[in-house]
Amino acid sequence: MPKPQRICLIGAECSGKSTLAQALAAHFGGLWVPEQLRVFCEQQGRTPRADEQAAIMRVQFDQEEQAAAQAMQTGCAYVFCDSAPLLTAVYSDHYFADRSLFDCAHALHARYALTLVLAPDLPWQPDGLQRDGEAVRAAVHTRLQQALQTMHVPQIEVAGLGDARLQAAIEAVETLTC
């Protein structure tokens, strides 16, 4: 049985990661791993402190490992990861001027067969604790692009609204089977 391929969906806040990851998992019959930052904020009722960033990154990794093991057991071809440890490192840099998570995040990112970089082209929508505004979304997107440029990983930008965005993501994932 072939090993499931991990697909990372990464982008700044309000770029549609969760919606698209769930839609891709449904389309391909794969598994979806939720973004652990969102889970943390919902459970704690607050955003994380600087000293909690590494733990969030570790939980994201652990959840992805568990989903990959489940996919292997059930024969799922794909695991769609809503965000990645790299985004936690970018947020740590942006909010706390802490670059200490980048080395680990870069090493962990090599596990993904493909990174879908979501363009910040969706209409802005506030979402409780996690979203600070369009200016932060633009700044985080720029930092994320800079981080990805230093890495040599397969990546495809996904843009567009609604069905066009989903179709672009489906076509990107299908490049893995060509």
pLDDT in tens, 165-178: 999 999 999 998 75
In terms of Cβ atoms closer than 10 Å to its own Cβ (0-12, 13-18, 19+), residue 97 is exposed
- State the pairing for strand pair 114-118/155-158: parallel
Give the Cα separation of 90 and 146 in Å (integer): 10
Rg (alpha carbons) of the chain, rounded to whole number = 15
H-helix or E-strand containing 168?
A: helix 162-174
Whether 14 contacts 131, CB under 8 Å: yes
Please give the CATH number for the structural domain made up of 5-177: 3.40.50.300
Instruction: Report domain extents, the chain.
Output: 5-177
pLDDT (tens digit per residue) in 24-68: 999 999 999 999 888 898 899 888 999 999 999 999 999 999 999
Cβ count within 10 A of residue 43:
8
End-to-end alpha carbon distance in the chain: 19
pTM of the entire predicted model: 0.91
